């Protein structure tokens, strides 16, 4: 089989669909007999994932690796920025945090060459093991003020000698200007590297864009590889939580209502993807105290800033509502930062998260947490073969007079979490609810409500089906013959 060049999906802007298209191409290439791997030199996201080696990468590259049928690795996302405020981010290099950076300082030229060497080395290692590499750019490729310090878009494409496919989002409007402008603003060298255009998120009759397609090709001198319709019936894990506030936010009659507390710094919201698909429950996101009081189950999710979010929950009355709801019979479960909040107190003596050294927790679990400088990142197996992963700064221990009551036993002989009863528990394990047995255990107190409901949900089989549906959808609307010609010949 002829070796293919690397391909980069670059964007006219953020949120044009690069990540999902990269996952689609990973699955298509596997179906066609290749061994692809995803790569994004620098990612910015709160939703991260732990590799098998216990290192941290962006969730999107983990999803793309899953679509490619390979284990995820830090070489797929060597540089990860995790925003902590509007101006600062934690910098994770090759899977390990190296400190917090002010955005202005980070994007200045000083020190960028060292980071450039690291991301290029990661790509080189990855390209020795897989081909082709399906690369993803970041944001817009035409940010002229960031061109000299850019690590992830055209400079990375030059290093990889990759063919660049420009992705434009027609749903947001202005696609002609954004596509043409993105190409016109490139240097002559980089302009030649852009070999195709994908118009993404089209709504309506595709024939209505036939003339527009030809006009774009004439205007840009670059072929339009395809016009990919907007879809609603394919479900791929998202990296950003921008749509959470748009999802259902109220309880419903006649089913088990599961409320996920909508934290300001909510992270790893993909923990709840399975529950969203489980027909036995109605899951919604809210910080409305009345809706929390109507819920059967309340889940406190992970947070990038546990103390800040805990302070906000106390200020807006949500903390008191959660305690009251539990007193009146609701189940409360905490995951990661949410688990920390459920305890007696959260302490930050080293000021890892900010100026607050201590806050009382919700007092639902007899545990205390100390925020630590060292981050725990690892994949875990528990209860005889279930899977999840941990990403957290902090150690949580039972109070002096509290008995040891872990929620799960890890397969290495250690334990995780704490359980007061079947209606009150916490855990550090992200992805714990991807395991059907854990959802069944969570829903056990509501057996009477569920007696006529369907069986538990097979999330692994569902995800495989969705990757295949996505591949079929994209394959149907891309000129794959031309794409392969480009990747084989630099056509």
Distance CA 229, CA 226 (A): 10
Domain 7-236+465-489 and domain 255-448 have a common topology: yes
Q: Which of 40-44, 227-231, 364-368, 449-453 has the lowest mean pLDDT?
A: 449-453
Average confidence (pLDDT) over 312-330: 96
What lies within 8 Å, CB to CB, of 57 at 6+ separation is 43, 48, 49, 51, 72, 73, 74, 76, 77, 80, 95
Out of 73, 392, 430, 477, the active site residue is 430
pLDDT of 245 over the 70 cut: no
Give catalytic status of residue 336 as yes or no: yes
CATH class of segment(s) 7-236+465-489: alpha beta
* pLDDT tier for residue 136 given thresholds of 50, 70 and 90: very high
- Look at residue 99 in the predicted model and tell me its pLDDT: 79
- Proportion of the chain above pLDDT 70, given as a percent: 93
> Looking at residue 46, what is its pLDDT?
79
State the pLDDT at residue 62: 96
User: Domain segments of the chain: what residues?
Assistant: 7-236+465-489, 255-448
pLDDT for residue 240: 60
- 151-176 pLDDT, tens digit each: 999 999 999 999 999 999 999 999 99
Q: How confident is the model at residue 312 (pLDDT cuts 50, 70, 90)?
A: very high
Identify the pLDDT of residue 103.
61
The span from the CA of 154 to the CA of 285, in Å, is: 38
Task: Give the model's pLDDT for residue 255.
Answer: 83
Q: Over 60: is that where the pLDDT of 440 sits?
A: yes
What number does CATH give the domain 255-448?
Answer: 3.40.50.880
Q: Is the pLDDT of residue 248 over 70?
A: no
pLDDT at 109: 62
The pLDDT value recorded for residue 453 is 64
Per the annotation, the verdict on 438 as an active-site residue is no
Packed helices 59-68 and 459-477: angle between N→C axes, nearest 10 degrees: 80
**Secondary structure string (H, E, C) spanning the chain:** CCCCCCEEEEECCCCCCHHHHHHHHHHHHHHCCCECEEECCEEECCCEEECCCCCEEEHHHHHHHHHHCCCCCHHHCCEEEEECCCCEEEEEECCEEEEEEEHHHHHCCCCHHHHHHHHHHHHHHHHHHCECEEEECCCCCCCHHHHHHCCCCHHHHHHHCCEEEEEEEHHHCCHHHHHHHHHHCCCHHHHHHEEEEEEEEECCCHHHHHHHHHHHHHHHCCCEEEEEECCCCCCCCCCCCCCHHHCCCCCCCCCEEEEEECCCCEECHHHHHHHHHCCCEEEEEECCHHHHHCCCEEEECEECCHHHHHHHHHHCCHHHHHHHHHHCCCEEEEECHHHHHCCCEEECCCCCCCCCCEEECCCCCCEEEEEEEEEEEEEEEECCCEEEEEEEEEEEEECCCCCCCCCEEECCCCEECEEEECCEEEECCECHHHCHHHHHHHHHHHCCCCCCCCCCCCHHHHHHHHHHHHHHHHHHHECHHHHHHHHHHCC
8-26 per-position pLDDT tens digit: 999 999 999 999 999 999 9
pLDDT band at 85; cut points 50, 70, 90: low
pLDDT, average across residues 177-184 = 96
Active-site entry in 26, 220, 336, 438: 336
* pLDDT > 90? residue 247: no
Residue 106: per-residue pLDDT: 67
- Reading phi first (left if > 0) and then psi (alpha if -120 to 50, else beta), residue 490 is in left
123, 169, 156: which is closest to 20 by C-alpha?
A: 169
């Amino acid at each position: 089989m002829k070796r293919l060049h690397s391909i980069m999906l670059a964007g006219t802007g953020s949120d044009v669909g690069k990540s999902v298209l990269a996952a689609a191409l990973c699955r298509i290439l596997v179906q066609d007999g290749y061994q692809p791997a995803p790569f994004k030199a620098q990612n910015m996201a709160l939703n991260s994932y732990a590799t098998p080696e216990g290192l941290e990468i962006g969730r999107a590259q983990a999803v793309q690796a899953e679509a490619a049928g390979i284990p995820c690795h830090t070489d797929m996302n060597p540089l990860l920025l995790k925003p902590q405020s509007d101006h600062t981010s934690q910098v994770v290099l090759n899977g390990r945090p190296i400190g917090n950076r002010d955005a202005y300082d980070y994007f200045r030229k000083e020190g960028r060459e060292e980071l450039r060497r690291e991301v290029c080395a990661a790509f080189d290692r990855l390209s020795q093991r897989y081909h082709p590499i399906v690369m993803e750019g970041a944001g817009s490729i035409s940010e002229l003020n960031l061109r000299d310090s850019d690590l992830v878009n055209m400079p990375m494409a030059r290093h990889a000698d990759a063919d660049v496919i420009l992705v434009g989002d027609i749903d947001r409007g202005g696609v002609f200007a954004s596509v043409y402008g993105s190409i016109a603003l490139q240097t002559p060298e980089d302009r030649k590297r852009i070999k195709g255009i994908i118009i993404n998120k089209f709504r309506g009759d595709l024939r209505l864009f036939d003339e527009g397609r030809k006009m774009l090709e004439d205007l840009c001198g670059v072929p339009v590889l395809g016009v990919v319709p907007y879809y609603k019936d394919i479900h791929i894990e998202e990296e950003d939580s921008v749509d959470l506030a748009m999802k259902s936010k109220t309880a419903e009659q006649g089913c088990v209502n599961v409320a996920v507390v909508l934290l300001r710094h909510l992270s790893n919201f993909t923990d709840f993807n399975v529950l969203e698909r489980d027909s036995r429950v109605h899951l919604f996101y809210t910080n409305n105290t009345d809706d929390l009081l109507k819920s059967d189950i309340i889940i406190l999710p992970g947070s990038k800033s546990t103390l800040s979010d805990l302070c906000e929950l106390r200020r807006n009355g949500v903390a008191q509502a959660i305690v009251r709801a539990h007193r009146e019979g609701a189940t409360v479960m905490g995951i990661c930062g949410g688990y920390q909040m459920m305890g007696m107190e959260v302490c930050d003596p080293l000021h890892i998260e900010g100026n607050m050294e201590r806050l009382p927790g919700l007092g639902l679990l007899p545990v205390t947490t100390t925020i630590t400088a060292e981050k725990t990142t690892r994949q875990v197996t528990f209860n005889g073969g279930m899977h999840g992963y941990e990403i957290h700064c902090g150690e949580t221990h039972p109070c002096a007079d509290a008995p040891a009551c872990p929620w799960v036993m890890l397969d290495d002989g250690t334990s995780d979490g704490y359980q007061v009863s079947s209606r009150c528990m916490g855990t550090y394990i992200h992805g714990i609810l991807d395991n059907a047995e854990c959802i069944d255990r969570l829903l056990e107190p509501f057996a009477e409500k569920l007696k006529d409901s369907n069986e538990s949900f097979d999330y692994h089989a569902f995800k495989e089906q969705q990757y295949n549906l996505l591949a079929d959808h994209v394959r149907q609307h891309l000129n794959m013959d031309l794409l392969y010609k480009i990747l084989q010949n630099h056509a």
